[in-house]
Amino acid sequence: MSARLVVSLSGLTDARADALPRARALAADLDLRGVPLTHLVQPASPDGPPPPELLGWLRDRTRGADELALHGYDHTPDPARRGGVGRKGEFAALPRHEAGLRLTAARRALTGLGLGTAVFAAPRWLASPGTVEAVREQGFRMCLDDGGVHLFADGVLLRARALGFRLDAVVSGDDRRRAESWRCRVLHAEAVRIARRAGVVRIGVRAKDLRHDDRVRTVRETVDAVLAEGAWPTTYAALSASPAARTA
């Protein structure tokens, strides 16, 4: 089986005003390469609903080759207040019942925006076992987390690590430039390595990444390199499990 390439974009619903033009530019670059985008949408925000221009753009894009995934509810870190060290994803530690309640609220909010999907993408790619069960129970086709794609109809986990520009360290000057260069090199090298092994290349882009020219250039160059290795551009909804990807 050939390698497959999936590119996602998150964070637009609570990003700065300049994010949408930058997102349009990225989408146009990917369109030229025949690569669809998966839009990870957080339906609730302290700043209120997403602007109509963004919602219109998402609707237009998802009427074509792009797809939409529910990306949590409002990204409250650890909403169950279970403590722990460091920042947690919204669904990283929730038991099944509490995850189900937040999923219900998230789906209702997404429907209120005139959007819908059967794909759930865990915020920060972190989903507790209870969250995975709740996502399954609510009729989603799949749940995306850091380790792979839970394909509920097949009853399997398609192992594929999410790649992206992780953990923006608070550094400056030469240290910042070195860290930025390192992030870009790692993403590119990992994506090409996975493509050569005929795996699933998952590139996750955040709205904040679009403000960094080096990151945008790396995404374009990495997509080109992965396609050159024979990878097939696709969406999460179109993924299926191969025998080698099955896990108990």
SS3 letters across 89-156: CCCCCCCHHHHHHHHHHHHHHHHHCCCCCCEEECHHHCCCHHHHHHHHHCCCCEEEECCEEEECCCCE
Q: Tens digit of pLDDT for each residue in 111-153? A: 999 999 999 999 999 999 999 999 999 999 999 999 999 999 9
Query: What SS3 state is found at 2?
Result: coil
Q: What is the CATH number of the domain that holds 104?
A: 3.20.20.370
Residue 170's pLDDT is what? Answer: 46
- Domain total of the chain: 1
Residue 78's pLDDT is what? Answer: 64
Q: Model pTM?
A: 0.90
Query: What SS3 state is found at 216?
Result: helix
Return mean pLDDT, the chain.
90
Q: Tens digit of pLDDT for each residue in 139-190? A: 999 999 999 999 999 999 999 999 999 755 444 556 767 888 999 999 999 9
For residue 107, pLDDT over 80 is answered with: yes
Residue 158's pLDDT is what? Answer: 96
- Measured CA to CA, the distance from residue 176 to residue 181 in angstroms comes to 9
What average pLDDT does range 59-72 have in this prediction? Answer: 97
Higher pLDDT, 247 or 11: 11
For residue 30, pLDDT over 50 is answered with: yes
- Measured CA to CA, the distance from residue 54 to residue 60 in angstroms comes to 10
Q: Which domain holds residue 79?
A: 4-245
Residue 177's pLDDT is what? Answer: 78
What average pLDDT does range 80-102 have in this prediction? Answer: 79
Please work out, in degrees rounded to the nearest 5, the angle formed at the alpha carbon of residue 219 by the alpha carbons of 209 and 125.
60
Higher pLDDT, 170 or 225: 225
